[in-house]
Amino acid sequence: MLMSMETDTAEGLPLPGPEATDEELFRMGLLYSTGQGGAPLDYVSAHMLFNLAAMRGSEEAKAYRKELSQEMASEEVAEAQRAAREWLAHG
């Protein structure tokens, strides 16, 4: 998996760089949504990663994003969406 050290979540694993595939983004979202693989349990980061993976064509990420958003407060979803836009702008 290609990783970029340029952009980190608040704490945890480095986020994938702009060249990341939908599958890489999806797998990273899974780590944050479950708190595994060295990632903290962080629904905002997971939603952001699922959103980015969905934008790159992952149907599975769309389903996970929808399910996760039902567990989150609307403010958290908005924060995840802002983070995804910021990641895209800096990619």
pLDDT band at 72 (very low <50, low <70, confident <90, very high): very high
The model's pTM: 0.85
- Residue 8 belongs to some domain of the structure: no
- Residue 5 belongs to some domain of the structure: no
What domain range includes position 35? Answer: 22-90
pLDDT at 36: 93
Encode pLDDT of 8-65 as tens digits: 444 678 888 889 999 999 999 999 999 999 999 999 999 999 999 999 999 999 999 9
- Residue 12 belongs to some domain of the structure: no
- Residue 55 belongs to some domain of the structure: yes
- Residue 2 belongs to some domain of the structure: no
- Residue 47 belongs to some domain of the structure: yes
Contacts of 33 (CB under 8 A, 6+ apart): 41, 43, 46, 50, 64, 68
- Residue 61 belongs to some domain of the structure: yes
Q: Give the Cα separation of 18 and 88 in Å (integer).
A: 8
- Residue 68 belongs to some domain of the structure: yes
